[in-house]
Each structure stands twice: as structure tokens, then as C-alpha cells.
Amino acid sequence: MYSALHRAKRTPRWRRLSAATLVAVATVVPVGAAQGADAPLTSASAVARADVPRPTIVLVHGAFADSSGWDDEITSLRSLGYPVVAVPDPLRSLSGDAAYVRSFLQTISGPIVLVGHSYGGAVITNAAVGLANVKALVYVGAFVPDKGQSVGSLLAEYPGSLLGPATTSVVPFADPSAPNGQNLDIYIKTQSFREVFAGDVNAATADDLALTQRPLALTAETEPSGDPAWKTIPSWDLITLDDHAIPPAAQEAMAKRANAHVETVESSHAVMVSHPDAVVDIVVEAAEHAG
């Protein structure tokens, strides 16, 4: 669907300037200096504009992962001067997870750029509704559901995912909020994890990710989404073209429906681990527009 230009390898914008260069730019550019109407807002100019509050970057992980997957992005974004926090996603139910993230967002003053990976995309879609200080949504290899859609229904609508009975296992657990007080946790089988989730991550790292994965409750997979925040908040979408968990065709269709600003990367589903530069690049782009 997207041109070869999107697929071309490029140096991330945030890496084009060293820290020393950023300091120099901030020194020579007066605060509040006018820019040409057609001048692009670069990472350097965003850092230099001390009169504009930098948005807080809030990162929300998805299923079969945890907040440590964002480690490289946190380091890079902080080096650029952005406040960053990675919120733990409970992975229990879509409405409950969204309410949890929303409660955290309500403790932050100032503008927010809200980032979600995988199932975390469904969470931010619901968590940001009606929050005026959430200025941008960034979807990273993520679900972007419309009202009434679930993660499971989207996978059924767009076939091609390797997630399924052959690659996953379930573990029953007591859940007073679930029907009959029982629920199921879904795991990716260790031997399938790299193929499904982290194909471009080295084998040792993929094994570590598999052994520390956090499971997704069945209720989170099947619960329908509510009114989507992307209808009122500008969105960006990094589509992972070598994804075996969420098919690229599904990501493209969801991004188009949300009228998202699209970038693509030749990456597995574990893009935050294998291509952190691409993630930082699109987050910075969203943050510059949010500012």
C-alpha cells in the first residue's frame, strides 16, 4: 500500500545532531524566534524552543512484554530532554487496563504524547478519550480498534497472524471479575516466541523475552473497544512490515481508518527492541507537532 520511500532505510532525525550540536543550536537560536512558514520543525529546533513545554512521553507496552522493552527508547528520549515514563499495562481487561492508564495520565500536568505497542494500542485508544492534554497518539506495531472491535476480532478479520493454538498456551487462573470466577492467561510458547514475536532479535535475547513475557488474559483479547480517541486526537502509526503477530495489512488498514501519519520499518513485532531508533523517530515527530 505504501511507496518504496517508506521502506527505505534512513538515519533517524533525532540522531542527525549530536548532543553538543543541540546545545549549540539552543545557544544561538533566541527563545521564541520566529521560523519561516515553510520551515520544518526539526528535533534541534524543538529542543531549542525552551518557551514551549515539552510533552511528557508516556509509553504503554502490549501483551507478552513489559515496560523494560522500552529501555532504549527511554534512554534516547531522555537524552533529547523529554520527560518519559513507561506505564505498566495490567493486561487483564481492555476496559480495566484503559482505566488504569487513564488514571495515571490524569496525574500528569502539561501535554502528553501517548505511545502504545501491540495490545497497548487498544489500551491507549480507550484511555485517552476526553483527556485534553493528550496531544498525540503514537501506535507502534499496534492495534488501532474502532468502537465494538476487539483484539481477537481484528486478528480474525485480517488473517496471517501466527498467534493461535499452535503457538500459544493457556493457564487457568482465579478471577473474581470474570464469568464463573475463572479466566485464562495466554502465553506464546517459548519455542514459538522468536518466530511469532521477535524474528529480528538475536536468539539469546528472544529467549529472555519469552521467559519473562507477561501473559494476556482472555478477557482482554475478547472485550470490545469503546469510543476511539483517534477520532479526536491526531495519531501517528509505525507499521512493522515483517510482523508475524499483527499482519502488516491489518496495521495498514487500521492506520488508514484513523487517518494516521504513517511510517514503516522492516521489523518484527518486537520493534521497540530491534528498531528503537525508528520508534524514537516517530515519537519525536509526534512530539514536535504536539508542541
Q: What is the pLDDT of residues 153-173, one digit of tens each?
A: 999 999 999 999 999 999 999
Structural domain contains residue 176: no
* Rounded Cα–Cα distance for residues 183 and 165 (Å): 17
Average pLDDT of the residues of the chain: 87
Give the Å distances, CA to CA, from 40 to 154, 155, 221: 36, 37, 40
CA end-to-end distance (rounded Å), the chain: 30
Structural domain contains residue 29: yes
Are the beta carbons of 158 and 247 closer than 8 angstroms?
Answer: yes
Give the DSSP H/E element, type plus range, for residue 186: strand 182-188
Structural domain contains residue 216: no
Q: What is the pLDDT of residues 245-291, one digit of tens each?
A: 999 999 999 999 999 999 999 999 999 999 999 999 999 999 998 86
Beta bridge partners, 263, equal 238
- pLDDT at site 12: 58
Evaluated on CA atoms 105, 256, 95, 243, the torsion sign reads negative
Are the beta carbons of 142 and 120 closer than 8 angstroms?
Answer: yes
Main-chain phi, psi angles of 285, to 5 degrees: -60, -45
Q: What is the CATH number of the domain that holds 19?
A: 3.40.50.1820
Structural domain contains residue 200: no
Task: Please tell me the total count of domains within the chain.
Answer: 1
pLDDT band for position 51 (50/70/90)? Answer: low
Q: What is the pLDDT of residues 52-102, one digit of tens each?
A: 679 999 999 999 999 999 999 999 999 999 999 999 999 999 999 999 999
Structural domain contains residue 182: no
Cell numbers 482472555 label which residue?
218
Supply the pTM of this predicted model: 0.85
Structural domain contains residue 16: yes
Structural domain contains residue 157: no
Task: State which residues form the domain around 283.
Answer: 4-151+230-290
Structural domain contains residue 39: yes
Are the beta carbons of 267 and 241 closer than 8 angstroms?
Answer: yes
